[in-house]
Chain A
Amino acid sequence: MALLEINNLHVGVEDEDIKILNGVDLTLDTGDMHAIMGPNGSGKSTLASVLAGREEYEVLEGDIHYDGEDLLELEPEERAEEGVFLAFQYPVELPGVSMTNFLKESVNSVREARGQEELSSAEFLQQMRERADMLGLDADLTKRSVNEGFSGGEKKRNEIFQLAMLEPRLAILDETDSGLDIDALQSVANGVNKLRDGDRGFLVITHYERILQYIVPDRVHVMMDGQIARSGDKELAQQLEEHGYEWIRDEVAAAAA
């Protein structure tokens, strides 16, 4: 069954005459892992932001169904409660917002929406320790303000740490692999693979084929100029690694001619 179904999605920026997505079609089945690759500025993060509910983007046409529901009807927090999670390409720093307090509130609001009981402080701390350990996240980071003064790699790990705490059904990873060292890449991949239990879906946005060796995708999509220009299996990622994107552009142009 389709966990996520995007049909002919056109997106622009409100108040400005900018169009970014020009008819995206994508279906992700429950249990699947899809990769989205594509040149800089092609619209990958915009798609991720629209899925998470960022308000500066305006959907001009098309629709998105998540678990059969109209996703665009939901507020960002409702999407989180329903199990949508975006690991940001550029996580913001929130000085003064304590990591522990924020995450506890976050976990409990998501649990409440799922009809689960609130975690006690002790249970929460226990879970936090376990998951931080699993991902090789320095436990001291959880005592600080959210992302404040974190290194680039620490921010990325922190996103995956939150993913592990919130256990979403649809996880979107926007270039989580960029800026990670080899060890971090492996622990992030391990974290993701642990959650791959057949009941969730993953969209992994990346520029590098390397992460796809650890978390093997079922499909690979290439986003160009706000459209999915090509889809294929994991071999496609290999091809892109070797030949870049231009050949796809040429082929698309030739087909259109």
Chain B
Amino acid sequence: MSTALDTDVRPEDRFISAFEVNHGQALNGVNASIAQQREDAIERFSQLGIPDNSLEAWKYTDISKTIDRPYTLSLAAEGPSVAPSDIEPFTIDAMDAHRVVLVNGHVDESLSDIGDLPAGVVVSSLAQAGETHPDVVEAHYGQYADAEDEALTALNTAFVQDGAFVYVPSGTIVEKPIFFLHITAGDEPLFLQPRHLFVVEDGAIAKIVEAQHALTDAQTFTNTVSEAFVGERANLKHYLFQDEGTSASQVHTRAGTQKDNSVYSTNTITFSGEVVRNNATIEADGSFCESNLYGLCIGKDEMHVDNHTQMDHVQPDCNSNELYKHVLNDESTAVFNGKVLVTRGSQRIDAYQQNDTIVLTDDANIYTKPELEIYADDVVCSHGATTGQVDEEGVFYLRSRGLSERRAHILMLQAFTDEVVSEYKIDPLRDYIAEKIRQRFASYFA
């Protein structure tokens, strides 16, 4: 089932009327609170409206234009059928993982290979989890992402239907990575709204890998909301590789909260896309937390990638490290806005933020802005941003040792990205990504 969005009316109204028409379609299942959240969310969405350039947080990324296209709002309960050979380029077979393939936001069992999970661990679709683990879903769903103030989170919440779900119970270690391969497929210009929930309870350890790819050249827009809970002493590594191609746009909102003594690391690599906006928020809601926010954008052609991060320190004695890097070619644009909040009483916080960009052409653009809001006095907060070209001293050094100018440039760019890529603590995954990046850079100097 799907609904074509009528472009003659205000885009907000299109979604609102689609909501009314498809009232019973979304994930509401057994749960009254989710149903109520949906009602509240569409209300908030209609009040907030789709953000445009007049809002400070959307100053450099005009999503309203990208949204205002004749998309088909997909409300089908499952994705179109996709052959194993279609996804073969993306499966990263060298990585031994619990693999789940989602097509248009729905788990495709036939393409997935979840394998054996430790006792109690659940890796499934969110829709299924709503039935099998309603208590876990209810305890965490909608608790971390902000549907009150973020229009696109409200929109996602209003239409919530399905997505990925992980539950790792207390004290459980999942050795292998849990790999969600998100595929967009179909001939229509789709508007998709997957919703993910990752719950890693006290003392549990997990690695979640997400990769986004498209099998279609049609213009698509994916409005993802993903929530994560990291319990006391838990450790969650969360990697996201975005490579949907030139006709795919997305807003990807990730909100995580973590408790005492936990470690939560996110690392987002954007490799392609038309307009990509990532909102990554971490709330360190416990003492002695470590939070790591890493990101890399490899921009080419007219790619536009906007990373908005928010690190909320609401408890004392925590540290956070943030590093985002960009390599921008052609007419690509990157935006980095890193907000760090330290609330009153959150003493002894150590927050570090760095954003480094290499621009390869005069037409590439970077807009970078740190935003520090600090209300405690015993805090070490540092931030820095650099923009420049490839270090010619380094290039000369390498050439003077016999490497060609081309090889020297590729190596220098790889070295620049290595600081983020090396944070991928899964060797085959890191090698896969490093090789993709190497090939991209090699194509620049053909």
Binding site for B on A (CB under 8 A): 52-55, 75-77, 79-81, 85-86, 88, 91-92, 94-97, 102-103, 105-106, 109-110, 113, 145-146, 162, 166
Contacts and interface: CB of A to CB of B under 8 A. Distances in A.
Contact of A102 (B398, B417, B422): B398
A183 B288 CA distance: 46
B380 interface: no
B397 A94 contact: yes
Contacts of B416: 96
9 contacts: A54-B396, A55-B396, A77-B404, A77-B405, A91-B397, A94-B398, A97-B415, A109-B402, A162-B401
A105 B407 contact: yes
B414 A92 contact: no
Interface string B211-243: 000000000000000000000000000000000
B393 A81 contact: no
B311 to A, nearest CB: 24
A168 B203 CA distance: 57
Contacts of B414: 96-97
Interface of B: 391, 393-394, 396-405, 407-408, 411-412, 414-419, 422
Nearest to B421: A96
B148 to A, nearest CB: 42
A166 B401 contact: yes
B419 A105 contact: no
A80 B397 CA distance: 11
Nearest to B413: A96
B386 to A, nearest CB: 13
Given A97-B398, A166-B402, 14 more contacts: A52-B396, A77-B399, A77-B404, A77-B408, A80-B399, A80-B402, A92-B391, A94-B398, A96-B419, A97-B414, A103-B401, A105-B407, A109-B403, A110-B402
Interface centre among A52, A54, A80, A97 (most CB of B within 10 A): A97
Contacts of B415: 94-97, 145
A76 B393 contact: no
A113 B402 CA distance: 9
Contacts of A75: 399, 405
Nearest to B408: A77
Nearest to A147: B397
Nearest to B401: A106
Contacts of B397: 88, 91-92, 94, 146
A245 B301 CA distance: 58
Contact of B400 (A53, A105, A145): A53
B363 to A, nearest CB: 24
A79 B411 CA distance: 20
A154 to B, nearest CB: 16
Contacts of B417: 96
A146 to B, nearest CB: 8
A50 to B, nearest CB: 12
A96 B423 CA distance: 12
Nearest to A88: B397
A108 B416 CA distance: 24
- The 8 tightest CB contacts between A and B, nearest first, are A96-B415, A96-B418, A80-B402, A76-B399, A106-B401, A109-B402, A97-B415, A77-B399
Contacts of B393: 92
A145 B399 CA distance: 17
B394 A86 contact: no
A139 to B, nearest CB: 20
B402 A102 contact: no
Interface centre among A55, A85, A92 (most CB of B within 10 A): A92
Contact of A80 (B400, B412, B419): B400
Nearest to A81: B402
A94 B398 CA distance: 10
A77 B403 CA distance: 6
Given A95-B419, A97-B412, A105 B405 contact: no
A94 B411 CA distance: 10
